[in-house]
């Protein structure tokens, strides 16, 4: 008896390779580096930085992250979505960027147990491999982008 398992379909024989073989995982199955740990020292903020779009602001922690990762494009992406009516009505938003192999996915959920409302694939990026979570809130005065540790 062979070490190979076989499946027959019409006139062709399909052979699966012997173990071990490399399983292909989805982005959700991969354990990525938690990039928020690099910025856990940011608890609260001393400054709000105004974005060029409207009255959106971001905190010291977000500024440190986008400076370190050269990713001001991420701010533009998040703030541009705020003009869509479905997104605008969410006063608390959880944004994540998941990056691996020079590709990334940016997603927004209204809460951790809710499905993503926004999912944008970034086909090429220099963003570091890992996962970064950020919040976008309406604090009554400003619409603020901040790190979870600053919430």
pTM to 2 decimal places:
0.77
21, with CB counted inside 10 A (0-12, 13-18, 19+), is exposed
User: Residue 3 pLDDT > 60, yes or no?
Assistant: no
Residue 45 and residue 61 in contact, taking contact as beta carbons nearer than 8 Å: yes
Give the C-alpha distances (Å, rounded to integers) separating 63 from 68, 70, 74, 110, 134: 8, 10, 11, 23, 12
* Res 54: pLDDT: 75
* Res 51: pLDDT: 85
Predicted confidence (pLDDT) per residue in 53-106, tens digit: 777 999 999 999 999 999 999 999 999 999 999 998 999 999 999 999 999 999
User: In the 3-class helix/strand/coil scheme, how is the chain assigned residue by residue?
Assistant: CCCCCEEEECCEEEECCCCCCCCCCCCCCCCCCEHHHHHCCCCCCCCCEECCCCCEEECHHHHHHHHHHCCHHHHHHHHHHCCCHHHHCCCEEEEEEEEECCEEEEEEECCCCCCCCEEEEECCCCCCCEEEEEEEEECCCCEEEECHHHC
* Res 52: pLDDT: 82
Omega before 46 within 30 of 0, i.e. cis:
no
Span of 20-34, 87-101, 132-146 with lowest mean pLDDT: 20-34
The domain 25-150 belongs to what CATH superfamily?
Answer: enterococcus faecalis protein (3.10.450.150)
């Amino acid at each position: 008896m062979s070490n190979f398992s076989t499946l027959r379909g019409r006139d062709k024989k399909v052979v699966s390779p012997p173990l071990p073989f490399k399983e292909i995982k989805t982005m959700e199955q991969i354990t990525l580096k938690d990039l928020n740990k690099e910025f856990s020292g940011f608890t609260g903020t001393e400054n709000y930085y105004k974005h060029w779009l409207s009255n959106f602001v971001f905190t010291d922690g977000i500024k440190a992250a986008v400076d370190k990762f050269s990713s001001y494009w991420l701010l533009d992406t998040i703030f541009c979505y705020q003009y869509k009516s479905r997104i605008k009505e969410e006063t608390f938003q959880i944004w994540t960027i998941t990056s691996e192999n020079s590709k990334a996915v940016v997603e927004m959920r209204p809460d951790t147990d809710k499905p993503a409302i926004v999912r944008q694939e970034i086909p090429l990026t220099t963003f570091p491999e890992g996962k970064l979570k950020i919040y976008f809130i309406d604090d009554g005065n400003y619409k603020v982008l901040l790190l979870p540790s600053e919430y």
